[in-house]
Amino acid sequence: MYILGISFGKKNANTDILVKEALYGARQADPEADIKFINTVGLKIGRCIGCGACSTRLEKGGDNDCVVKDDFQMLENEVRKADCLIVGAPVYVLQPVGQFKDFVDRFSCRHDVSAVNWVLDRRRTGEMPGDPDAFPQERLKRRTVSYISVGGATTQNWVSMGTAGMHLFGISVMMKVVGNYDAHNMGTTGNPYLDEELINNMHEMGKRTVEAYSMDDKDIKWYDVQGQGTCPVCHQNLLTVNGTTTVECPICGIQGKISIEGDKLNVTFSEEQQARARGTFAGLREHTTEIQGFGEICGPKIMANKEFLERQMERIKNFDKCINE
């Protein structure tokens, strides 16, 4: 078994400590495992430039590698190899630090289990070029993961999108999330080692992340030391409201119904909705189907308005000149 800990925090600071302690817990669950820790702070991980070369390569029979070469590839290869992961990131301005998101942007779409399988299925039928068996299946393998969000604020008020944002890491590749931990309050804790309960919780979460690897998904219990949360899939408390009694979990993209009893808000998500959560194959496939339909819808519109659009685009390409005319 290969267990990987990643910290997006400063070297030897709070996030490093918590991720490493979770790895000590992981060690208890598997004394033989290969365990590696990576701190990303010195890594150069540029943003996804949206060039689309990865999708084009895949559709032309190649792999799904990124053409932008920097330290991203090293981290990506480690994640591809890992069976179990502990990922920690500090909260910067309410969300996981930007480098975390840059990694997610470059990693996630290219490893979307539904999108890759969509292409591989078409290779099998000959609709697309390439050998379906040449694609490294390891890239789509099952993994378990737990997330640690680290903030300085004394209340959750300033880490409101911390743990929720971390779930974006493994959704496309369908990582099985065992738990997440909102470790805020670092500003007054001083050092995580001064909070014994926090350290014990890290050990337990690390241990459970590894134990879950050999369990059926249906038998894995959410690490609920901080509660079950509102959404039964990602266990976060964020909801999108639209003025009706239907609400949506912005992480999982599933709809629930709200009802109010006195001061108590109940939110229920049907089994059917849970089965189409963003991190399931069905949920990802909805999006693949949507994207694959884009060309058919906008292609004719673009062709019918070709000259008009060319004229309009001149205003964009020569903006500095046109704006002053």
Ligand X SMILES: Cc1cc2nc3c(=O)[nH]c(=O)nc-3n(C[C@H](O)[C@H](O)[C@H](O)COP(=O)(O)O)c2cc1C
Contact residues for ligand X, defined by CB under 6 A? 9-10, 13-15, 90-94, 150-153, 158-159, 184, 186
| C-beta of 99 vs 172, nearer to ligand X | 99
- When the beta carbons of 55 and 226 are compared against ligand X, the nearer one is 226
In angstroms, give the least distance from the CB of 217 to ligand X.
31
> Which CB sits closer to ligand X, 24 or 158?
158
Cβ atoms of residues 29 and 1 within 8 Å: no
Output the smallest distance, CB 60 to ligand X, in A.
Answer: 41
Q: Which residues contact 211 (CB under 8 A, 6 or more apart)?
A: 29
90/256 with CB nearer ligand X: 90
Q: Which is nearer to ligand X, 119 or 164 (CB)?
A: 164
Name the residue nearer to ligand X (CB basis): 95 or 209. Answer: 95
Min dist. Cβ of residue 236 to ligand X (A)? 17
Closer residue to ligand X, CB minimum distance, 15 or 280: 15
Can you list the pairs that 50-57 forms with residues at least 24 positions away whose Cβ atoms lie under 8 Å?
54/109, 54/110, 55/109, 55/110, 55/115
| Residue number with the smallest Cβ distance to ligand X | 9
Closest approach of Cβ 278 to ligand X, in Å? 25
Shortest Cβ 17–ligand X spacing (Å):
8
The CB-of-7 to ligand X minimum distance in angstroms stands at 7
- CB of 195: closest distance to ligand X in angstroms? 13
Residue 4: CB partners within 8 Å, gap ≥ 6? 35, 36, 37, 38, 78, 79, 81, 82, 84, 85, 86
Q: Are 89 and 15 within 8 A, CB to CB? A: yes
